[in-house]
Amino acid sequence: MPQLLDPNFRRSVVLIVHHDETGTFGLVLNRISDVSVGDLCGSLGIDWRGGEVAHLSWGGPVQPNTGWLLIGGLRGATESAEDGEEITEIGPGLHFAGSLETLRRVADAPPEQFRLLLGYAGWGPGQLEAELAQGAWLVAPLRAEVVFASADEMWEGVVRSLGVDPSTLVSTPGVH
């Protein structure tokens, strides 16, 4: 929403991966970096067997040296996870992982739908709830197809999916 003045989150789409009384962990989905997935993998000594056009996403301002994977369309992912891997289904057709071993497997046989993100967005206890109460965020249901959509059009698409014309958004208090 317009009243959220933090430039890290201007027109951002954030996937909330985990939320409880200790805080919230999310990933900004619509900020693509200039660094390719292949370059990052190469710097880690991992062979990248995917396309050159795959680029890293900026997941948020916290710990930008940590990596996270969002993977679509896995079947039996938790059963096929190998030692050192933890793959969690966070929604229908959407899986989350943060291990180097999972990155190695993805790099070896990249799935059709995945995002590799560096950093994350984090909120302390009650912080996100306070921002929601101030009307700083719109809340949309999780849809895996949005997670893998074009970053350029993602924010507007999510806002329009709520039946809202983005040009009509104004700064107002309250939950939206």
Helix (H, G, I), strand (E, B) or coil at 38: helix
User: What does the pLDDT read at residue 6?
Assistant: 83
Domain ranges of the chain: 7-168
pLDDT higher for 170 or 15? 15
90: exposed, middle or buried (Cβ count in 10 Å: 0-12, 13-18, 19+): middle
Helix (H, G, I), strand (E, B) or coil at 27: strand
pLDDT-based confidence at residue 82 (cuts at 50, 70, 90): low
In this prediction the pTM is 0.88
H/E segment holding residue 147: helix 144-147
Q: Say what percent of the chain tops pLDDT 90.
A: 70
pLDDT-based confidence at residue 73 (cuts at 50, 70, 90): confident
Mean pLDDT of 133-138: 89
Asked whether residue 80 carries a pLDDT value surpassing 90, the answer given is: no
> Mean pLDDT of all residues in the chain?
88
Residue showing tokens 């880690």: 44
With beta carbons less than 8 A apart as the criterion, state whether 144 and 111 touch: no
- What Rg value do the Cα atoms of the chain yield, rounded? 17
CATH class of 7-168: alpha beta
